């Protein structure tokens, strides 16, 4: 069933109860807990959040549809802010959380695949870190400079041509664990797998926002400047 678009007057608590998977996304807008019966409008005013940016990104993630009434009025810098917060979430929380539980699961029982699984995950983390560093050192500063009217030899098209999906390796990791990891105490590893599945979907949403919101928004600004 197609999710409906969220509105300004929807309460945060109802949104969460309707779809709890949006909790990590709300955290990247720095929305605190203790929301009471506050609406999206209330929360955004109290926390100095661009309500149109929040609705644009949340509705896109929930429905897969870009709200045409907001895409042309939201600044790309609001999307950049969200993506930076996402980078921090993945690197400093999510990956560390998965690795801790993965290590604990592997230590429960000696297995020939243990070192392979952990090394694979560590290699994946380093690849994602490199991906994020490129965006933060090259792409995001370029967007800020562009909006300040500064000229550059860089363009968002360069980023688009070389933009790789970073979550694909998690599918391989899941395959290794599901097919080849053997243990008589599987509960913790099952929990790890759930986290890996969730993380894979989260990274896919992250890439979708870059590909389908940020890149078109910046491309449009580039065209206007060229004209």
pLDDT digits (tens, 9 = 90+) for 85-121: 999 999 999 999 999 999 999 999 888 889 999 999 9
Convert the pLDDT of each residue in 40-96 to its tens digit.
999 999 999 999 999 999 999 988 899 888 888 999 999 999 999 999 999 999 999
* Tokens 């990104």, located at residue: 57
For residue 11, what are the β-bridge partners? 39
Q: Evaluate if residue 1 carries a pLDDT over 70.
A: no
Convert the pLDDT of each residue in 131-155 to its tens digit.
999 999 999 999 999 999 998 899 9
Looking at 71, 101, 118, the residue that finishes a domain is: 71
| Total domains in the fold of the chain | 2
With cut-offs at 50, 70 and 90, classify the pLDDT of residue 2.
low
Q: Evaluate if residue 158 carries a pLDDT over 70.
A: yes
Specify the pLDDT at position 10: 92
Q: Evaluate if residue 28 carries a pLDDT over 60.
A: yes
- Give the list of residues 6+ apart from residue 184 with CB closer than 8 angstroms, or none: 109
Q: Are residues 60 and 89 in the same domain?
A: no
Looking at 71, 96, 111, the residue that finishes a domain is: 71
Q: Evaluate if residue 24 carries a pLDDT over 60.
A: yes
Convert the pLDDT of each residue in 185-210 to its tens digit.
899 999 999 999 999 999 999 999 99
Residue 6 lies in a domain: no
Euclidean distance between CA atoms 19 and 158, whole angstroms = 36
Q: Are residues 80 and 181 in the same domain?
A: yes
In terms of C-beta density within 10 A (0-12 exposed, 13-18 middle, 19 or more buried), how is residue 57 classed?
buried
With cut-offs at 50, 70 and 90, classify the pLDDT of residue 31.
confident
Other CB atoms within a 10 A radius of the CB of residue 206 amount to: 23
Alpha helices by DSSP H, the chain: 12-18, 23-27, 40-46, 51-63, 68-71, 76-89, 95-107, 114-134, 140-147, 156-161, 168-180, 187-209, 215-226
Rounded mean pLDDT of the chain? Answer: 91
Q: Are residues 178 and 98 in the same domain?
A: yes
**15 φ, ψ to 5°?**
-65, -45
Specify the pLDDT at position 102: 96
* C-alpha distances in Å from residue 197, one per residue of 16, 42, 90, 146, 172: 20, 33, 14, 36, 11
Specify the pLDDT at position 226: 80
This prediction has a pTM of 0.91
Specify the pLDDT at position 174: 93
Q: Are residues 115 and 210 in the same domain?
A: yes
Residue 5 lies in a domain: no
Specify the pLDDT at position 113: 87
Residue 31: give the domain boundaries. 12-71
């Amino acid at each position: 069933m197609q999710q409906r678009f969220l509105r300004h007057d929807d309460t945060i608590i109802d949104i969460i109860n309707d779809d709890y998977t949006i909790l990590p996304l709300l955290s990247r807008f720095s929305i605190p807990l203790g929301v009471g019966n506050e609406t999206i409008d209330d929360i955004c005013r109290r926390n100095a959040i661009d309500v149109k940016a929040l609705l644009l990104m949340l509705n896109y993630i929930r429905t897969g549809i870009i709200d045409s009434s907001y895409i042309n009025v939201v600044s790309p810098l609001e999307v950049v802010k969200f993506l930076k917060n996402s980078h921090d979430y993945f690197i400093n929380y999510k990956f560390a959380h998965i690795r801790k539980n993965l290590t604990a699961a592997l230590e429960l029982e000696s297995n020939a695949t243990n070192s392979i699984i952990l090394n694979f995950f560590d290699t994946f983390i380093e690849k994602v870190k490199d991906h994020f560093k490129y965006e933060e050192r090259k792409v995001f500063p370029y967007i800020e400079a562009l909006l300040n009217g500064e000229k550059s030899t860089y363009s968002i098209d360069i980023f688009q041509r070389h933009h790789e999906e970073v979550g694909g390796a998690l599918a391989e990791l899941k395959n290794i664990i599901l097919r080849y990891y053997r243990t008589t105490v599987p509960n913790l590893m099952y929990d790890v797998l759930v986290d890996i599945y969730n993380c894979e979907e989260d990274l896919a949403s992250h890439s979708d926002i870059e590909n389908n919101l940020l890149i078109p928004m910046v491309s449009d600004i580039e065209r206007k400047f060229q004209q």
